[in-house]
Amino acid sequence: MARRAQTGSGCFSRGLLLLWGLLGSGLCHTGTEAEGFGQDNRTSPPMATFNWTAQLVEETYTNITQRCWELFVDLMRNVTAAELCEWKVISRPYSLLQACLEGWADHLRYGYPNALAEQYIFQSHHRYFHNCTLEHPLYFDPPEDVLLAMIIAPICLIPFLVTLVIWRSKDGKTQP
């Protein structure tokens, strides 16, 4: 029986499963207080206060990025060696890896790009895409400062050459 390709929200369902696990373990409920609905807070229910330390956020993000990587590796199992350099084939797994790393960093307010996310991106290139080269190299415009120098140098050189020609022609000798 052929393996069915994963469709749709596989990343999201794993993320929800992870969130459910965090909520179920009580990890997300640190620092909450049980309050009743008094006269002054009748319109809104009490909000849970999260006491996320930097170490806890980093540990959580480390665990989540490992799951992102495992999802990426799982999706890349369906890609043959001949298809590894075809963007149409690898764009979905690669984009999901990037979206997972970036989305969870944003959700946890961890900052993106970060060293851990870059490590996974570099690891993906080293493991899967290290033999990919462009058949036709792409040519880009030079940086603006180089381009400006290439434009200004001849413009400044022209008056100097005109002055040199005029000065050399004024020595009084007529040329045949």
How far, in Å, are 6, 11, 13, 96, 128 from residue 77 at the CA level? 12, 16, 20, 15, 11
Q: Are 139 and 120 in contact (CB under 8 A)?
A: no
Residue pointed to by tokens 């100097």? 160
End-to-end alpha carbon distance in the chain = 95
Write down the pLDDT at residue 2.
44
What is the DSSP-derived secondary structure letter of residue 86?
A: -
How far, in Å, CA of 22 to CA of 107, rounded?
Answer: 14
Quickly count helices (H) and strands (E) in the chain. 5, 0
Write down the pLDDT at residue 47.
53
Write down the pLDDT at residue 6.
47
Write down the pLDDT at residue 170.
79
Write down the pLDDT at residue 3.
45
Residues 107-135: pLDDT tens digits?
998 999 999 999 999 999 999 988 887 66
pTM of the predicted model over 0.85: no
SS3 content of the chain, % helix, strand, coil (to 5): 60, 0, 40
Query: At 2, is the secondary structure helix, strand, or coil?
Result: coil
Mean pLDDT by 10 residues, the chain (176 residues): 46 49 46 44 51 86 95 94 90 95 93 93 92 73 90 92 88 60
Write down the pLDDT at residue 34.
42
Write down the pLDDT at residue 51.
62
Handedness of CA 65, 68, 74, 75 (dihedral sign): negative
How far, in Å, CA of 63 to CA of 57, rounded?
Answer: 10
- Residue type (1 letter), 158: I
Q: Which domains can be identified in the chain, with CATH numbers? A: 54-129 (1.10.150.510)
Q: Are 71 and 97 in contact (CB under 8 A)?
A: yes
